[in-house]
Structure 1
Amino acid sequence: MRLENLGIEDTVMDLKPLDHIMGKHAFIRAGQWDYERVTYDYKIGSKEKNITYYIRIQGYAIEGDVDRGNAVIKLLTPLLGKHYYPHGVEYGEEENFPENLVERANKIVAKVKDELSNYEK
């Protein structure tokens, strides 16, 4: 599910402060990057058996190189996904997400956006 109109999409900023702010808000990049792209995930536990939700924020380098740490990243529209153990994460529009979860995800992304605004290019 796309979390649209939160103002985070199209944010452009340097990788190092982006990594710092995302980590501060519990978004993990870990090994989810290549030379041109980054992916940050925020894990949300669930009472449903074998179900975990994730907020995923992706971006791509418009300048520089992620590996070298000198990239300037442009963020994409955040996604809300549902992980089915052991099959993987589904982000499709046909997925059903509890309304309170969607509201929580929107608030989490809004907090990140507020802080990112101080560092935008």
Structure 2
Amino acid sequence: MKFEGTGIEQVSADLNKLDFIMESEGFVRADQWDYERVTYDRKYNMVEGTFYLRISGYATEGDVGSKKAHIQLLTPLLGKHYYPHGVEYGEGEDFPKSLIQSSKKTLNQLKEKLEAITAEA
């Protein structure tokens, strides 16, 4: 499921500031990066299953490995994990309403924090 129109997909920010803010909202980058791309995941364990709110991005300057990069974020996605196959993000997935509401709230809070750092730049 895509969360269109959140404004997050318009954010471009320094990688180190981005890592700090994403972590403050429960997102983990861990080893999910290469030299040009990053992926931040927030995990939700629910009775209905395991879900991930994912925000990906790509480097417009520098590279991720050097921790000196400027990242352009992409449209947030919500997916359901299926063992052992992985996460499905398709529109055909059934997501609990409480999860969708929680994800939207998280994205709104994240957007406010991201706007603050992009205003500094």
TM-score by length of 1: 0.94
Q: Displacement of 1:110 after TM fit?
A: 0.9
Q: Displacement of 1:86 after TM fit?
A: 2.1
Spell out the pairing of 1:1-121 with structure 2 (5 A cutoff): 1-48=1-48, 51-120=49-118, 121=121
Name the structure where strand makes up a greater proportion of residues: 2
Question: Can you give the 5+ residue segments of structure 1 that lack an aligned partner in the other structure?
Answer: none
Distance in 1 (alpha carbons) for counterparts of 2:32 and 2:15: 14
Distance in 1 (alpha carbons) for counterparts of 2:31 and 2:114: 22
Q: Among the aligned pairs, what percent are the same residue?
A: 55
Q: Displacement of 1:34 after TM fit?
A: 0.3
Q: Which moved more, 1:12-21 or 1:100-109?
A: 100-109
Question: Can you give the 5+ residue segments of structure 2 that lack an aligned partner in the other structure?
Answer: none
SS at match of 1:71: strand
1:17 aligned partner, one-letter code: K
SS at match of 1:118: helix
SS at match of 1:45: strand
* 1:9-62 Cα shifts (integer Å, max 9, x gaps): 1200000000001011110000000000000000011113xx201000000000
SS at match of 1:6: coil
* 1:48-101 Cα shifts (integer Å, max 9, x gaps): 3xx201000000000011100110000000000000122210000111112221
1:95 aligned partner, one-letter code: E
Distance in 2 (alpha carbons) for counterparts of 1:67 and 1:10: 23
Distance in 2 (alpha carbons) for counterparts of 1:15 and 1:85: 31
